[in-house]
Amino acid sequence: MNLHGVTQGKFQNCLCEIPALSETAQSVNNAYTSISRAYEKKRLGHGGSVFIKVYFKDSDNFWKPLNVLRERLDKTYDSEIKQAFRDAFTKLSKNDKVDVLSNLLNWATQDTSEHIIDSLKRLDIDNLQKLNALIGLSHLQNILALWNNNQDNGSEEFWQRTLAENSFVLSQVFSIPVILFKDKVYVGGKNIFNTGGKVVDFLYTNQLTKNTALIEIKTPKTKILGNLYRDDVYPPSPEISGALVQITNYKNTLLKKFDSLIESDKRDIEVFNPICLLIAGNMQQEFSDVNQQKSFELFRQNQREVQIITFDELFGKMKLLVDLIEGNSTTS
């Protein structure tokens, strides 16, 4: 008997002697078919489930269908598997337990077998919600670990890909309900020579009004401030100044070219004075005194067109969310 745990066991092929026919069959099914052909000649078909049609003599001397034996073996095997899983599970760390549960849940929801579906129907809703919260927490913790391990990564492509795969991180910046519409979005600007096209890193939309938000990202290694100007004043770095002009230009181009880019009857987005967001730099690594902090805050608070947020602030929001979920927040 080939036992599967989550599906009913099946007979493996094996030689079967049929003394009454002086024959050898290649499997139990083959043996049943041969016997049926010999002794049930009036039947049009000689197939059927051997688990229902074939009987065995049980330990109590009663003859019972093979299905009784299969269910008994399945139950024993299933119990052994569950116990082995429990034994192994208790030895795992908290994070490993979450990963195992997450993978099991993903597998279970993709499996279409009747046994899995029946099991899911019997799940307690409260426990399922707790499991979902646990898996969500694990995802947030993985994001934080990725940030902690890559604060010195100066690749824009890496951060573009990371934030595209975890778009909810960027959505936490806004006070309105937004979703990722597309990354690497063409917003217009090409001339007759097919050059000069402008591509913004991310385009988000308000779920209710469909208004857009343009997001331009640099890297945590992008310099935020330039050299000391005089006394205690620091100007913005050339990289930040250039990025501000760049995203403002993207917005201007999109406003002018929007009607030609998207047909009016097929619009899933609108451009009612789009929000602009620039993500760049790492204050905690770059700033060494309060004057740098003051200069940066004075500069960005006076930006009317573009909101500026640093990478450590962005992932600091994720850290705060994890602390709240874990009950580690010290705020009252």
Can you give the pLDDT at residue 294?
Answer: 94
332 assigned to some structural domain? no
Does 249 share its domain with 298? yes
More confident residue, 230 or 332: 230
C-alpha span between 175 and 61 (Å, rounded): 74
Report H helices in the chain.
28-39, 50-53, 66-89, 94-110, 114-121, 125-149, 156-165, 168-171, 238-261, 283-286, 290-301, 311-326
pLDDT digits (tens, 9 = 90+) for 259-295: 766 655 556 777 888 888 999 999 999 999 999 999 9
Does 267 share its domain with 210? yes
pLDDT digits (tens, 9 = 90+) for 142-196: 888 999 999 999 999 999 888 888 887 888 777 655 556 666 666 655 544 345 5
121 assigned to some structural domain? yes
Can you give the pLDDT at residue 48?
Answer: 80
End of a domain among 153, 169, 193? 153
Can you give the pLDDT at residue 271?
Answer: 81
Does 270 share its domain with 221? yes
331 assigned to some structural domain? no
What burial letters (b/e) apply to 202-215, b meaning 16+ CB within 10 Å?
Answer: bbbbbeeeebbbbb
304 assigned to some structural domain? yes
pLDDT digits (tens, 9 = 90+) for 184-216: 666 655 544 345 556 777 777 877 788 888 889
Can you give the pLDDT at residue 170?
Answer: 82
Q: Which domain holds residue 120?
A: 93-153
End of a domain among 101, 125, 153? 153
Does 148 share its domain with 184? no
Can you give the pLDDT at residue 159?
Answer: 92
C-alpha 54: how far from its chain's center? 48
Can you give the pLDDT at residue 192?
Answer: 41
pTM, to two decimals: 0.57
Q: Domain count for the chain, please give it.
A: 3
pLDDT digits (tens, 9 = 90+) for 62-92: 999 888 888 888 788 777 766 776 677 666 6
- C-alpha distance from residue 179 to each of 172, 188, 198, 199, 254 (Å): 10, 22, 22, 19, 19
Can you give the pLDDT at residue 235?
Answer: 95
